[in-house]
Amino acid sequence: LELPEKPVTALLDREYFSQALHNIIRNSLDAMQQLEPPRRNLTIRAETMDRWIILEIEDTGVGIAENNLDKIFNPFFSSHPFSRQWGIGLSLTYKIVAAHEGHIEVESRRGAGTTMRVILPNVKKIYV
């Protein structure tokens, strides 16, 4: 966990945003499940940049296939069998972040892991 020295302030619905983070972190943990414990690394960072708060969730999991990157936020898309995962977690996460006037960026490499950046307005920079 890497946090800035000074707290950051975002205008959030606690329940919905907690669910969004849960979905991202759960996917990260699932992506690392088959790895040996020393290779499992999950890093969560928060920082501010001008008018934005950037929350970065990085894992060392299996990564997302390049041909799936543009589909991961589609409802009911999953690279796993439907009986295991319904494919609604990241689509819901996308909608929650958008409702908070933010957006999500994704970088992934097969065999190396995935980084998701949730970018939200920085309340202190907008209203102060």
Coil vs helix vs strand at 102: coil
Can you give the pLDDT of all 128 residues of the chain as single tens digits? Answer: 998 888 888 889 999 999 999 999 999 999 999 999 999 999 999 999 888 999 999 999 999 999 999 999 988 777 665 545 666 889 999 999 999 999 999 999 999 999 999 999 987 755 55
> What whole-number distance in Å separates Cα of residue 118 and Cα of residue 31?
19
Residue-wise pLDDT for 9-38, tens only, equals 888 999 999 999 999 999 999 999 999 999
Which tokens is 46 given?
A: 């928060």
> What whole-number distance in Å separates Cα of residue 11 and Cα of residue 61?
31
